[in-house]
Amino acid sequence: MIRRSRYLVGLYVACLCACAAVDWFYFPATTVFPDEQRYVASALRLAQTGEFWVAGDRAWEMPGTALFYAAIIRAFGAAHLVPVARAAQSVLLIVQALLVGWTTWRVFHDKWAAAIAALITAFYPFFLFYQGLLLSETLFNTLLVASFACLYWWRDCGARLDSSFLATCLCFAAATMTKATLTVFPVMLLAATAYSCLGWRRAGAVFLAASVTFAALMSPWWIRNYQLFDAFVPFSTSAAKNLYLGNNRNNPHAGVYWRTDAEPDVMARIEAIADERARQSAYSKAATDYIAAEPVAFFNRAARKFVRFWNVVPNAEAYSGNVYRIISALSFGPVLLLAAFCALLWRRTARALLPIYLLIGYFTLVHMVTIASLRYRLPIEPFLIVMAASTLGRLMTRYCENSATDDPHAFFKSG
């Protein structure tokens, strides 16, 4: 117990020091990207007026991130938002590391794997980078990892409709309120997990219960949107815009930049529409009309997006330097390879990993259809780390067992 406590304290301190080094020596004292400025503007307006806006729109994205930063503004003032938010997100990274370790133990019941997973997460370069940015990624990742930690806890408790079920629904709803990408996937995931444990009958009951519970938890957002739009707006109004960006005649290479990868005349026409729901419909129609007219081009782009999504090195020109490529290749590359080995080793008991497989498949499919980049892959990387740590945990367990034989060749003989 004492050794584990020392390990955890050491992990806390070292992770905080790594985050502080990134925040102080790599990032400036202000925001860096336009997306950060959008989140900050929404948070400032929310803190001042109590109303959620994204520029002139009311539901362009989910409000979770703005709520998080607005709470910091109210507590510490707008002038201290950047340093306090970065400090808070460094704490969230520690929480992620602990939850990833706990989830790894729940899945594999391997203490070595759990410790390795927490260690990798705490110092994973992509996570250290994003905790220094005022974006939705760190908050969303933490909530998503917490959702899966609760999901496996619920599964191990027998997939009953109890407090663990409610905690899982609550975490998934909070994650969805932060990023609309999940949509109704949590309900399907709960039902699939119940099926993997107890069959179709329990899956049906869980599906109904999860639908009702998830709807109740999301209802404040739905009611608010209905009052504003006089229509049912379940998530955000920006999804169709991303669908269009990934599927238009001016984007043959599946890029993600509005200045170069969209049709200026189409954008000008649609952006002139005042109502955001009407703009969403217009972008959706432009994208689906193009997909219907050019199905071969759609599948070609989907293949390109798959490559972009799973690329071992950054796609963006701003991060195409050798240093960034080496860091990415030496961090994500081994994680991906070890996760693949885990899938191979657990091929006969794949049900244990079914929720993770479904999440990976879901995010991959969504971004093959819309737009793809390494940033959008970030939410599934904690779960690739869970799988990678299992492979390393097996090796460490085998090494420790064979070291006890005092035979230096025993480890290789046991392979």
| pLDDT one-digit tens code per residue, 169-217 | 999 999 999 999 999 999 999 999 999 888 888 899 999 999 999 999 9
Task: State what percent of residues in the chain have pLDDT above 90.
Answer: 86
Confidence of residue 316 (pLDDT cuts 50, 70, 90): confident
Mean pLDDT of 328-350: 92
Confidence (pLDDT) at 415: 38
Cα–Cα dist 179/238, whole Å: 11
Query: Is the pLDDT assigned to residue 83 strictly greater than 50?
Result: yes
Query: Is the pLDDT assigned to residue 410 strictly greater than 70?
Result: no
Residue given tokens 């307006």 in the structure block = 45
Vertex 221, ends 217 and 224: CA angle to 5°? Answer: 135
Identity of the amino acid at 182? L
Q: Closest Cα partner for 161 from 119, 209, 91, 129?
A: 209
Mean pLDDT of 23-41: 95
Which has more confidence, 353 or 408?
353
Confidence of residue 405 (pLDDT cuts 50, 70, 90): low
Confidence of residue 226 (pLDDT cuts 50, 70, 90): very high
Confidence (pLDDT) at 400: 76
Which stretch of 84-93, 190-199, 242-251, 345-354 has the lowest confidence by average pLDDT? 345-354
Contacts 24+ apart (CB under 8 A), 85-89: 85/134, 86/19, 86/23, 86/27, 86/131, 86/132, 86/134, 89/19, 89/131, 89/132, 89/138, 89/139
* Residues in contact with 57: Cβ distance below 8 Å, sequence separation at least 6, in sequence order: 237, 276
* Whether the Cβ atoms of residue 386 and residue 145 lie closer than 8 Å to each other: no
Confidence (pLDDT) at 1: 54
Query: Is the pLDDT assigned to residue 412 strictly greater than 60?
Result: no
Confidence (pLDDT) at 198: 85
Confidence of residue 12 (pLDDT cuts 50, 70, 90): confident
List for the chain the helix, strand, coil content (%; round to 5). Answer: 75, 0, 20
Secondary element (H or E) of residue 28: none
Confidence (pLDDT) at 342: 94
Q: What is the mean pLDDT of the chain?
A: 93
3-state SS assignment for residue 222:
helix
Query: Is the pLDDT assigned to residue 49 strictly greater than 90?
Result: yes
* Whether the Cβ atoms of residue 345 and residue 113 lie closer than 8 Å to each other: no
Give residue 414's Cα distance to chain centre: 38
pLDDT digits 0-9 by tens, 270-309: 999 999 999 999 999 999 999 999 999 999 999 999 999 9
234 DSSP assignment: -
Query: Is the pLDDT assigned to residue 76 strictly greater than 80?
Result: yes
User: Which pair of structure tokens corresponds to residue 30?
Assistant: 């202000």
Give residue 52's Cα distance to chain centre: 23
3-state SS assignment for residue 395:
helix
Confidence of residue 403 (pLDDT cuts 50, 70, 90): low
Q: Closest Cα partner for 314 from 362, 368, 378?
A: 378
* Whether the Cβ atoms of residue 197 and residue 232 lie closer than 8 Å to each other: no
Region of 108 (left: φ > 0; alpha: ψ -120 to 50; beta: rest) is alpha
* Whether the Cβ atoms of residue 193 and residue 348 lie closer than 8 Å to each other: no
In the beta sheet, which residues pair with residue 54? Answer: 57
